Homo-oligomer: A and B are copies of this chain.
Amino acid sequence: MKYEYLSNKPCEQALSEYLTALKNAGTTYKTETVETRNANSAVTASAQYARRCSPHYCACAMDGIALRSELTNGACESSPVVIKPGDFVYVDTGDPLPEGCDCVVMIEDVVEDEGGAIRLYSASVPWSNVRHVGEDICMGDMIVPSFTVITPAVIGALLAGGVYEVEIVKKPVAAIIPTGDEIVDTASEPKPGDIPEYNSAVFSAMLSEWGVGSKVYPVIPDVPELLSSTVDSAARECDAVIVIAGSSAGRDDYTSTIIKELGSLVIHGVAIKPGKPVALGHIGSVPVIGVPGYPVSGIIVMDEIVRHVIRLLTKRPDMPAPRMSAYLSRRLTSSLKYKEFIRSRAASVNGKTVAVPMSRGAGIVSGYAKASGIITVPQNCEGIEAGSVVDMRLLKSPDEIQNSLCVTGSHDPLIDEIADILLRLDNPVRIVSSHVGSMGAVTAVRGAEAHLGGIHLLDTETGEYNVGYVQKYFKNGGAVLVRGVVRKQGLIVAGGNPLGVRGIADIARRGVSYVNRQKGSGTRILLDFLLEKNGISAESVYGYTREEYTHTAVAAAVHSGDADAGLGIYSAAKIYSLDFIPLWDEKYDFLVLSSVIDDENVKRFFETLKSDELKERLSLMGGYSFENPGEIIFGG
């Protein structure tokens, strides 16, 4: 197979060229006729006209008597008219208007006379208190036009109009073909080097939200002939084909070549990041798209390109995702070569919405799942300055972003536990949290970018926790320090402690590989303090430069064997059944923005902190103790 150089077409241009090519190739929708009552959320394939009037008969709109209005002429308070029996009929609401009658007099206005006659004290005009034929819908009226989503009310209008079957756009089916020698089915337990296949599940879920069914094929190894025959049959069986991975230009990237051989390749390479190595082509009228294998790259390509292609098959009106503008928390740099899509967390504090960019790793699907929205940095733009207003395409509801409690700072699993408890309340509170270390919490609260943050900052002079930092960084107030929990910090080592690590001195030993935490984290500060206290230089610690962002990441490194020791909390060691050498009791407290201390969500956060349910959950995790959690230590 000959090497393919990727183009770098601007996204909009690539998409419109591709859509044009598909239209010329005859890519279009199919139709089917279904029962109207089962057609909710389907798309009409043609205009639908009423086959019947609703109501289909002339109906009495009141309980009372029906008669011919001219009999009431001249009736007034001073001279009532008498209506003989036989000249009127008692009726109920909804009854058909009796033959020869043209109005209804409500029962309250009917005075019974002797001999079954009645007296009326006011005249009626024709058609008073009568519900006309077609008041709702008239036969022949267009109830709903083409290519319109059928809502519950439209179902009602169609059925009222006697349209019991409706022509809709047939739900298309897309083939999803995962490829790659290293890709294994998620069912099996993966060996080192294996990559569990889950993109197909993510993509078919996205497709179903766009009104498209999917057929997931078994994983195809990097064998050109095998991939080629699979793509060929998929193009016969389905309305669109999505090939996962192999869409780039490397040794094992066959997708583009195969599309070229079986049909035609329109675009190979789009100027987006992540997602550049995308292959856009078709076999006959069937779109065939090579999507990159990194999960986030794939999701971006699905959203920015496949979603629009699919609309040729569904005719579903484009529903632009809700957008929101927010202040950018920190500077974003971006390549001039690409239109870049950056996940970010967003929350509103004191009515100001701030967007915090998240990791850009194309492999970090958990980040995409947690993101509030996507910030787009246009091609030919170097970046966006901190504090600028950016426009986010939302992945969560605007309501969720505006009403969530924003918690940041030092990582501790208790934040997630509190978040879960708060969501289980009758009147739930949602937390948007991120791990930026204790100093990150100080910065965020100073910038009013978070309601509160967890900190465990050791004053290396006094040996005291947190208070000193609050005094230093909030000289003029603005923050309240609220007591949290006491945590055991210590060295996390392999089960059975094979290297016999006893204390901090041992991490500098030859043959001991250490895993560190990022600068600004309370645990990093504690380590540096302990090293200094023991007269150990950072250089002598092998792996000092290796930084992880959470306690579990440190434990995971030790558990996997590519580190021998790391400083972290007990609960992390316990999850991985590792040994733990306790070194320090530290105070993990909460720094709260003063102006929100009485905020309802903040109050409920601290109620939960004090709750027995949290105590129970933390005692199961281990390594925590409580001394008046929720009490105000400083400020306020």
Contacts and interface: CB of A to CB of B under 8 A. Distances in A.
A41 B210 CA distance: 13
A560 B57 CA distance: 7
Contacts of A295: 156, 160
What are the 9 tightest A-B residue pairs by CB atom distance, in nearest-first order?
A159-B198, A140-B575, A152-B205, A37-B201, A40-B205, A138-B552, A57-B192, A134-B556, A142-B416
Contacts of A182: 94
Contact-residue bracket for chain A: 35 or more
A394 to B, nearest CB: 12
Interface stretch (A258-266, A362-370, A470-478, A492-500): A362-370
Nearest to A415: B142
A152 B299 CA distance: 9
A187 interface: yes
Contact of A560 (B53, B208, B369): B53
Given A152-B299, A428-B147, A560-B53, A132 B423 contact: no
A186 interface: yes
Given A132-B548, A134-B556, A369-B154, A543 B159 contact: no
Nearest to A561: B58
Nearest to A95: B193
A369 B153 contact: yes
29 contacts: A37-B201, A47-B420, A55-B195, A56-B190, A56-B192, A57-B560, A96-B193, A131-B363, A133-B556, A135-B363, A137-B366, A139-B575, A140-B413, A140-B572, A140-B576, A141-B413, A142-B413, A147-B428, A151-B205, A151-B395, A152-B205, A153-B395, A154-B369, A156-B295, A156-B368, A160-B295, A160-B366, A317-B428, A320-B397
Given A164-B186, A552-B139, A127 B202 contact: no
Chain B CB within 10 A, most for which of A56, A125, A205, A543? A205
B317 A400 contact: yes
A97 interface: yes
Interface in A425-482: 426, 428, 430
B190 A156 contact: no
A359 B198 CA distance: 51
Interface string A537-556: 00000110110101011011
Contact of A187 (B125, B164, B548): B164
Nearest to A48: B420
Chain B CB within 10 A, most for which of A40, A131, A144, A543? A40
Contacts of A367: 136
A206 interface: yes
B159 A196 contact: yes
Copies in the complex: 2
Interface in A152-170: 152-157, 159-161, 164
Contacts of A136: 361, 363-367
Given A94-B195, A202-B153, A361-B135, A127 B545 contact: yes
A552 B143 CA distance: 13
Interface string A362-405: 01111111000000000000000000000000010101100000
Nearest to A199: B156
Contact of A144 (B369, B543, B550): B369
Interface in A543-588: 543, 545-546, 548, 550, 552-553, 555-557, 559-560, 562, 572, 575-576
B148 A423 contact: yes
A220 B153 CA distance: 23
A636 interface: no
B127 A546 contact: yes
Contact of A134 (B143, B145, B545, B552): B552
Contacts of A95: 193
Chain B CB within 10 A, most for which of A192, A200, A543? A192
Nearest to A400: B317
Given A56-B192, A127-B546, A132-B557, 9 more contacts: A37-B201, A134-B552, A136-B361, A136-B366, A140-B413, A147-B428, A156-B201, A156-B295, A157-B365
Contacts of A591: none
Given A146-B423, A209-B152, A423-B146, A556 B138 contact: yes
A424 interface: yes
A278 interface: no
A575 B209 CA distance: 39
B146 A424 contact: yes
A199 B428 CA distance: 33
Interface in A172-217: 182, 186-187, 190, 192-193, 195-196, 198-206, 208-209
A247 to B, nearest CB: 15
A190 B94 CA distance: 13
A539 to B, nearest CB: 12
Chain B CB within 10 A, most for which of A41, A142, A208, A400? A142
Contacts of A203: 152
A200 to B, nearest CB: 8
A36 interface: yes
Chain B CB within 10 A, most for which of A137, A146, A152, A545? A152
Contacts of A620: none
A369 B126 CA distance: 31
Given A57-B193, A164-B186, A202-B156, A552 B94 contact: no
A340 B397 CA distance: 27
Given A133-B556, A160-B295, A146 B365 contact: no
Interface string A250-289: 0000000000000000000000000000000000000000
A231 to B, nearest CB: 22
